[in-house]
Structure 1
């Protein structure tokens, strides 16, 4: 229920981003119904979507820590649905830009609310693999978006000004289904306990324990330890800032590095891959979806197959190695592209290998910032690092990438590849030194709640009872 209700929203995000990248060529053609260029779709509109996600993450992230995970992951999905529906009826460029921004605004809130809820509801020994697979499910949406764009852009089936609108409409339908499932996902008992709702927290935990005992036929052991907390309705922004930037300074550097590297790489390539195929390999705009579906599959297989190792081999080794490997492989791809050794097929194959490792690394960025900071700051920390890192890499990435690829010069595109590769390698080196050994550890063990009573509390395996 948790995986379907919360994790499937990344499928929608992947659908959104991929559809826009693949329909860029069609939107810029006469008869699309919008007076817009391909560069505006992959550059301006993409940057506005990311800017909306960044601002939405900060806005909704603070509210998630104040009012709970469940309320916010319902509200943010509703915002996404409304904005996507209005994108489908775009009639002018400014309208399309506005509702791409608002769609991102809703998705940004999802990042904070969903990742904090997932980590607080999933057992510690499985937290890494589950978090990676859920964040990696973005690429299932990307596969769907790629294949959907092939059908939607077929003018034998739909007029040029109708097909691309149907792709956004399908996103609304899928979102409504997720909304129905999500109503049954419980609030985080950790959040309930700390905010003075211990009876509600006990009710949620007791229901889970009862169901597990009925399924296994065995009584659960008592908690190994317990911690005592002082319940507080809210934690001030100043205290959050001091905690993140003073108490956990090295962890903040780690979070920034991971997010900036993956944000530049993914937002640039996701929005711009279709333009590369049409510009340098003369792939028809209606066929780019086939190629993107292949690299999207590679992206999903990365977290799916490597996720278990983040819980067994460990966070530090896996985070640093996935970032470094993807960066080095991208440097190799740039070299082959510069030599003229690649075709549309072999370019896609290279990217598939690069993104197999990069996707696991990118998903681990969300895992990292959602588990290495105290409970009271969790959603805001996710929002902050996502917003700042993505603003640095995710807004500049599409703009720089669109500008470089639009020249039609191979050397300019090679530079874009090399920037992404360098940032991924740099983040990998930072992780090699600063990554936290969080595998199979309780969240309270990794970062004691700010409301914990007594020095050194929180070193136990979990929360037993609280006051």
Structure 2
């Protein structure tokens, strides 16, 4: 474990946030040296399983569109309104919720917000099941998206700050990939609950939302036992609470393992602050860490376009080109979802061992290249519905790991004070790109019934995915096994400024053997590490 106090000559400077005391703490190194335990499983289950609910609901809504438009469904709405207006409002709500709750998460804490966002999500989902007017349905879909957008910001920041550094990559990937477990369940659940031999037309679709609420309440009960992030606490003037919390976690793990923990090595000295100004956040993300911002944008936009190229029109392609019945497309989607989940599950560990740069760039480039191959085979008429689905599974096996690594990247490469807001911004950009590109571009290409149009859709998604992979090959941060404070120095910590020439983004000169090592610098902002 890196010893912050020994390796970096910390001094304190001013900030735009409200500051309190100056403290030294070993909380980060104590959290990162913990062995995997039942306590970590509580964190994963309490925070990560909400993505299963998200996948469940998103898939169910797509599958019930036809039922809602039928006479006797209890809701005067058309299928186009469900997949068009309601879907657009859900995406808009997710973008707005991410930005709104992301700012509050950085200011008021991870736990307070991840309890609020889940409550918003569950309340809106329950109200959706009771909708008897299309306008109420639209409103509740927006609020549901508002809650899930906030979840992405609050949950990803909390998970990164609670999970030991050596496990962070695989845990993040599997948590984000668990969305597809929900998608599998949603595809199969819709087949069962929409069977009019079992449930009336105006009941089955309501039960799909109601079941999501029940599962969410179970998650809410587990989440009550997940603590606030100690990293957030000690920065925001609550160092004693952070120390007490980590003491309790250590005692619990020692009791479970039956042996004392190894001593933690390394402390960090900061000036506490109660909040961080929005100007500080914007300057940090887009000026001090501008290369990482470019990386985040490339990854999120690339994966959004690839996924829309495949998933937005997969049903239309299967029905128009291969004559698959619309009642059977759910089975094909379930198979695709399995491929999506297996990618992060089997490749996740490599992000902690082989390294971030190698794995992020390779998953993006490989999935893009495989989609080009799929487009060529489709254009040549060499595929059937089953072999095309198999090709999609292989593409998305790698693409899902790459897409999950986009969330991992933006959640770990920015300072603690900006983490939730950075996640929110890049999530909103990626979600908006997907939400806009899907209806405006890919829907028309994949539903036209023209082979060349579908091939073009595949090629657009593959091209942007490959471009993002190239960006990652040059800009991805080698964050594997490193403490978050080592990857991005907290804004509360400052070092003595270097000469102006040292602020240019060039490789640092070798350290002379005799004098002490110079302060580590971050480009564009005195006192922060080189990217």
Asked whether the two chains share a fold, i.e. TM above 0.5, the reply is yes
Counterpart-to-counterpart distance in 2, 1:135 and 1:161: 33
Partner of 1:196, secondary structure, is coil
Structure 1: runs of 5 or more not aligned: 460-467
RMSD: 2.0
Q: CA deviation at 1:34?
A: 4.1
Verify: 1:306 aligned to 2:360, yes or no.
Answer: no
Q: CA deviation at 1:89?
A: 2.7
**Distance change in 2, residues 1:53/1:382 (3 Å):** same
Counterpart-to-counterpart distance in 1, 2:410 and 2:198: 45
**Distance change in 2, residues 1:271/1:389 (3 Å):** same
Identify which range, 410-419 or 33-42, moves more after superposition.
33-42
**Structure-2 residue corresponding to 1:464:** none
**Distance change in 2, residues 1:271/1:104 (3 Å):** farther
Partner of 1:436, secondary structure, is coil
Verify: 1:339 aligned to 2:380, yes or no.
Answer: yes
Conservation of the 8 A alpha-carbon contact between 1:299 and 1:356: yes
**Structure-2 residue corresponding to 1:428:** 469
Conservation of the 8 A alpha-carbon contact between 2:313 and 2:447: no
Runs of 4+ in structure 1 off by over 6 angstroms are: none
**Structure-1 residue corresponding to 2:212:** 171
Verify: 1:351 aligned to 2:395, yes or no.
Answer: no
Conservation of the 8 A alpha-carbon contact between 1:374 and 1:450: yes
**Structure-2 residue corresponding to 1:396:** 437
Structure 1 length as normaliser, TM-score?
Answer: 0.93
**Distance change in 2, residues 1:23/1:412 (3 Å):** farther
Verify: 1:135 aligned to 2:176, yes or no.
Answer: yes
Conservation of the 8 A alpha-carbon contact between 1:150 and 1:287: no
Partner of 2:341, secondary structure, is helix
**Structure-1 residue corresponding to 2:296:** 255
Q: Number of residues paired by the alignment? A: 459
Residue 386 of structure 1 is aligned with which of 427, 435, 451?
A: 427
Verify: 1:322 aligned to 2:341, yes or no.
Answer: no
Counterpart-to-counterpart distance in 2, 1:407 and 1:270: 16
**Distance change in 2, residues 1:124/1:55 (3 Å):** same
Identify which range, 252-261 or 384-393, moves more after superposition.
384-393
Counterpart-to-counterpart distance in 2, 1:92 and 1:82: 17
Partner of 2:273, secondary structure, is coil
Structure 2 length as normaliser, TM-score?
Answer: 0.82
Q: CA deviation at 1:231?
A: 0.3
Residue 117 of structure 1 is aligned with which of 154, 158, 163?
A: 158
Counterpart-to-counterpart distance in 2, 1:147 and 1:89: 22
**Distance change in 2, residues 1:160/1:406 (3 Å):** farther
Identify which range, 159-168 or 241-250, moves more after superposition.
159-168
**Structure-2 residue corresponding to 1:445:** 486
Q: CA deviation at 1:420?
A: 1.4
Partner of 1:413, secondary structure, is helix
Conservation of the 8 A alpha-carbon contact between 2:310 and 2:392: no
Counterpart-to-counterpart distance in 1, 2:66 and 2:461: 24
Verify: 1:418 aligned to 2:485, yes or no.
Answer: no
Verify: 1:82 aligned to 2:119, yes or no.
Answer: no
Partner of 1:230, secondary structure, is strand
Verify: 1:371 aligned to 2:431, yes or no.
Answer: no
**Distance change in 2, residues 1:410/1:163 (3 Å):** farther
Identify which range, 207-216 or 31-40, moves more after superposition.
31-40
Q: CA deviation at 1:353?
A: 0.7
Conservation of the 8 A alpha-carbon contact between 1:371 and 1:443: yes
Spell out, residue by residue over 1:204-248, the C-alpha distance to the aligned partner (whole angstroms, 9 max, x if none). 100111122222333223322211000000000001100001100
Spell out, residue by residue over 1:125-184, the C-alpha distance to the aligned partner (whole angstroms, 9 max, x if none). 010001101111111111111110111222222233332222111111111111111011
**Structure (1 or 2) with the larger CA radius of gyration:** 2
Partner of 1:228, secondary structure, is strand
Conservation of the 8 A alpha-carbon contact between 2:308 and 2:461: no
Q: CA deviation at 1:418?
A: 1.9
Conservation of the 8 A alpha-carbon contact between 1:17 and 1:270: no
Identify which range, 280-289 or 245-254, moves more after superposition.
280-289
Partner of 2:348, secondary structure, is helix
Counterpart-to-counterpart distance in 2, 1:63 and 1:325: 37
**Structure-2 residue corresponding to 1:463:** none
Identify which range, 307-316 or 401-410, moves more after superposition.
401-410
Counterpart-to-counterpart distance in 2, 1:308 and 1:145: 27
Verify: 1:50 aligned to 2:91, yes or no.
Answer: yes
**Distance change in 2, residues 1:6/1:444 (3 Å):** same
Residue 338 of structure 2 is aligned with which of 283, 297, 300?
A: 297
Partner of 1:205, secondary structure, is helix
Partner of 1:448, secondary structure, is coil
The structure that is helix-richer by fraction is 1
**Structure-2 residue corresponding to 1:107:** 148
